[in-house]
Amino acid sequence: MLSSFLFAHGSAASENKAAVCEFHNHGDLKKDKTGPCQYSSDKEEIKIKLSNGEVLRFVEERKRKGHYIDQDGNRLDVKKNNDYTLTYRWKNQRLVVMLAER
């Protein structure tokens, strides 16, 4: 499974946004990894670039709106908490992306 971070919904044109990413394994109270990341999304894909250079890519499932598949074929759900915070949830992991307000 992924041990890193992802992206959120956006417009047709992709735009990089500064963000802070928090990665959690389910059941853990503390964050496993926290740090700056770059978020971008377009009509077809969400990308998150972590500070270690790793890039996560997500595409929406065709049959299930709001449900995504990562680059490894794992399903995940995306929840928009507010205009600036997105939560990506896998079976055993969770990524919280906090976008910089503009």
**Per-position b or e across 6-45, b if 16+ CB within 10 A of its CB:** bbbebeeeeeebebbbbbbeeeeeeeebbeebbbbbeeeb
Q: Residues 57-73: pLDDT tens digits?
A: 999 998 887 789 999 99
Which pLDDT value is given to residue 16?
87
Residues 6+ apart with CB under 8 A from 74: 1, 2, 90, 91
pLDDT band at 29 (very low <50, low <70, confident <90, very high): low
pLDDT top residue among 36 and 23: 36
Domain boundaries, the chain: 17-99
pLDDT band at 6 (very low <50, low <70, confident <90, very high): very low
